[in-house]
């Protein structure tokens, strides 16, 4: 599957549960835990961070 298509799917998953989209992009790294905290503080900060991580980071680097 093309990387852009994967990114779109990750963003769609992130709309439902932001940490899952981050996990699919970077695994259990620092950004995953940051996203957990942001999502607990509020859905919107977690969602914005998740979309940023998906757009910013290459999926092949975990």
Provide the terminal-to-terminal Cα distance of the chain, rounded to the nearest Å.
18
Q: How many domains does the chain have?
A: 1
Residue 61 included in any domain: no
Its domain, for residue 9, covers: 3-56
Q: What is the pTM of this model?
A: 0.87
Q: Which carries the bigger pLDDT value, residue 2 or residue 15? A: 15
Scanning the chain, the segments in alpha helix (DSSP H) are 3-16, 18-26, 30-41, 43-56
Confidence of residue 58 (pLDDT cuts 50, 70, 90): confident
User: CA distances (Å), 32 to each of 2, 5, 23, 41, 56, in order?
Assistant: 23, 21, 6, 14, 14
Please give the Cα distance from 31 to 14 (Å, whole number): 14
Residue 49 included in any domain: yes
Residue 62 included in any domain: no
Please give the structure tokens belonging to residue 28.
């259990």
Residue 41 included in any domain: yes
For the chain, give the mean pLDDT. 91
Q: What is the mean pLDDT of residues 20-32?
A: 95
């Amino acid at each position: 599957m093309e990387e852009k298509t994967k990114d779109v799917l990750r963003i769609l998953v992130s709309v439902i549960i932001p940490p899952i989209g981050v996990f699919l992009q970077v695994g259990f790294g620092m950004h995953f835990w940051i996203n957990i905290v942001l999502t607990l503080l509020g859905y919107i900060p977690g969602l914005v961070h998740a979309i940023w991580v998906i757009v910013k980071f290459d999926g092949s680097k975990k």
